[in-house]
Amino acid sequence: MLVGLEGHRASTWDVYSESIREGRRIRGEDEYNFYEAIVDALRPAVKQGVRSVLVAAPDEKDYEKLMAHIGRHQGWLLGGWRLNTVTFERLSQRAMDAEKVRELVRAKGFKERLVETTQLDIRGVMEALERLLSDTEGIESLLFTLEEIEMAIRGDDGGLEYILLTEAFRDRHRRRVDRLLQIASSRGIKTRVVRPDTPAGSRITQLGGLVCMLRRQS
């Protein structure tokens, strides 16, 4: 996600490579409620698994104020379990309207910055997965077959946390996987399809191409 931030005005955007989709426009004079409105705009995407947010703030003080508010009042975005941690990065360019956002996503270095931020995201997920795999009790909170996950999601009571799969696995089971991902999305279960030529893709391939992480019990 991309957030344009200038003073007490903000615009949110979903960015897909070079395509964009406008989200919410937010205005406010009261600082607390303004920053809370930004967090509320991000919340649905975070629940769906978005873990990378780029903040386009020409004035660095605007970014610092937003992050200070999140640190004080919405610490769950920055801390806690790695699967719930969001990576924020500041850009110095403007992103308050569609024309500026298009210029930004086409600008030299933007794709590299987006990839870098996303890699930090998936790295945290994989670290959490490796900890579960190395622990006797942790490995019991993992599912590795399509049949197991389909059965679990049909009777899901909030226990499914994250589904990871490779592009190759999705291609082999396209209809079933697309249906599974659709249900997961509607229930707020985080999902990620990873490319095979990445460290995450190689590791998930070793595990059969599919793994589901169950929600950690407190």
| pLDDT over 90, % of the chain | 51
- What is the dihedral angle through the alpha carbons of 7, 10, 14, 18, rounded to the nearest 10 degrees? -50
Cα radius of gyration (the chain): 18
pLDDT value at 49 more than 80: no
The whole-chain average pLDDT of the chain stands at: 88
pLDDT value at 36 more than 70: yes
Lowest mean pLDDT among 44-48, 71-75, 210-214: 44-48
pLDDT value at 123 more than 50: yes
Average pLDDT over residues 141-153: 93
| CB-CB contact of 73 with 38 (8 Å) | no
The residue type at 168? A
**Which residue(s) pair with 13 in the sheet?**
2, 22
Confidence of residue 83 (pLDDT cuts 50, 70, 90): low
> In angstroms, rounded to a whole number, what is the distance separating the alpha carbons of residues 61 and 90?
11
Average pLDDT over residues 152-180: 89
Q: pLDDT, tens digit, for every residue of 106-122?
A: 887 787 777 666 666 77
Domain 135-214: assigned CATH number:
3.30.1330.30
pLDDT value at 17 more than 70: no
Full-prediction pTM beyond 0.75? no
Please give the full DSSP string across the chain, using - where no structure is assigned.
Answer: -EEEEETTEEEEEEEETTEEEEEEEEE-SSHHHHHHHHHHHHHHHHHTT--EEEEE-SSHHHHHHHHHHHHHH-GGGTSSSGGG--EEEEESS--SSHHHHHHHHHSTTHHHHHHHHHHHHHHHHHHHHHHHHTSHHHHTTEE-SHHHHHHHHHT-SS-EEEEEEEHHHHHHTHHHHHHHHHHHHHTT-EEEEE-TTSHHHHHHHHTTSEEEEEPPP-
Structure tokens at 118: 């996303």
Average pLDDT over residues 152-170: 86
Look at 86 and 150; give whichever has higher pLDDT.
150
pLDDT at 8: 95
> In angstroms, rounded to a whole number, what is the distance separating the alpha carbons of residues 44 and 67?
19
Give the residue among 24, 78, 7 at the shortest CA–CA distance from 46: 78
> In angstroms, rounded to a whole number, what is the distance separating the alpha carbons of residues 194 and 204?
8
Confidence of residue 134 (pLDDT cuts 50, 70, 90): very high
Lowest mean pLDDT among 58-62, 138-142, 169-173: 138-142
Confidence of residue 158 (pLDDT cuts 50, 70, 90): low
pLDDT value at 128 more than 60: yes
Confidence of residue 218 (pLDDT cuts 50, 70, 90): very low
Sequence ranges of the domains in the chain: 2-117, 135-214
The residue type at 45? A
User: For domain 2-117, which CATH number applies: 3.20.20.70, 3.40.50.1860, 3.10.20.30, 3.30.420.60?
Assistant: 3.30.420.60
Sorted by sequence, the CB contacts under 8 Å of residue 65 that are 6+ apart come out as 31, 35
Average pLDDT over residues 155-163: 79
